[in-house]
Amino acid sequence: MSFDRSKPVLVVDDTYAIVRIVRTLLNAQGVLDVEGAGSGPEAIRKLSQKEYGLVVCDYYMTPMSGADLKLIMDGRPEWAGIPFLLMTTNDAGAKAKLDRPGAPILIQKPFTAEALLAAMDRAVSAVAA
């Protein structure tokens, strides 16, 4: 299962290097329309302006975490159906907070292109289920 490739992907991370890596991985997989956002509020602004096919978001960000952004998206019917993938490091704190039903699909750094592709599919399946 794949996300809607006719729509852009939004990569949310306050670290430019990670946005760049994810964009490069997606571009090489034929996903050419990839946009970056440096924070949760910027992501919300972008989501309000355009329809995205997938959101790939870092967990640790300020002023809102990736999990907070997902909660906000779940509260808006027009965003709740967008597949969402959360990037974390292997972190007990994040795991504990995300151990709940309906929690977003996680991908742990470091990730390979193959792992990213598989996680994207899982994120899409989670929305479709």
Instruction: List residues near another protein by CB under 8 A.
Output: 1-2, 4-6, 14-18, 20-21, 24-30, 58, 60-62, 87, 89, 91, 93, 109-114, 116-117
Work out how close the CB of 93 gets to another protein at its nearest, in angstroms, rounded to a whole number: 6
Question: Quick one: which H or E segment has residue 37?
Answer: strand 34-37
- Cβ proximity of 27 and 8 under 8 Å: no
Complex with another protein: residue 12 or 25, whichever CB lies closer:
25
Work out how close the CB of 85 gets to another protein at its nearest, in angstroms, rounded to a whole number: 15
The values of phi and psi at residue 102, to 5°, are: 80, 5
